[in-house]
Amino acid sequence: MSENQGRKPDYDAFSVRDRGPEKSAAWNRIGAAWRHRDGAGYDIALDAVPVDGRVTLREQRRDEFKEERRNEDAPPRDRERSR
């Protein structure tokens, strides 16, 4: 049993692919990372490995930011209901 089981990850792991100057980069979540309890390292679990080998770690967002993002992505009619 993994020591990280049940703990929320400290970071999300992403593959970030540049799509050229006319488009924004494509971010795909490919895993997560947990800080070691002693603070001296990280455990990283990946569901996929990027073709270019580059993994970007970003701090976990707090739940209220995720909810705000869901509301921004919702169609206008649904946004009004969630307020």
Structure tokens at 1: 């049993």
* Domain count along the chain: 1
Name residue, tokens 């970003």: 58
Q: What is the pLDDT of residues 5-34, one digit of tens each?
A: 688 999 999 999 988 899 998 999 999 999
Does residue 1 belong to any structural domain of this protein?
Answer: no
Does residue 71 belong to any structural domain of this protein?
Answer: yes
Give the pTM: 0.65
Whether 74 has a pLDDT exceeding 90, the answer reads no
3-state class of 44 per DSSP? strand
Average pLDDT over residues 46-65: 84
Q: What is the pLDDT of residues 31-52, one digit of tens each?
A: 999 999 999 999 999 999 999 8
Cα angle 47-70-19, degrees, rounded to a multiple of 5: 55
**Residues 13, 56: Cα–Cα separation, whole Å:** 6
Whether 82 has a pLDDT exceeding 90, the answer reads no
| Other CB atoms within 10 A of residue 81 CB | 8
Does residue 50 belong to any structural domain of this protein?
Answer: yes
Q: How many CA atoms lie within 13 A of 38 on its CB side?
A: 2
Q: Considering only CA atoms, which of 3, 4, 66, 1 is closest in space to residue 29?
A: 66
Range of the domain at 25: 11-81
Does residue 3 belong to any structural domain of this protein?
Answer: no
Does residue 35 belong to any structural domain of this protein?
Answer: yes
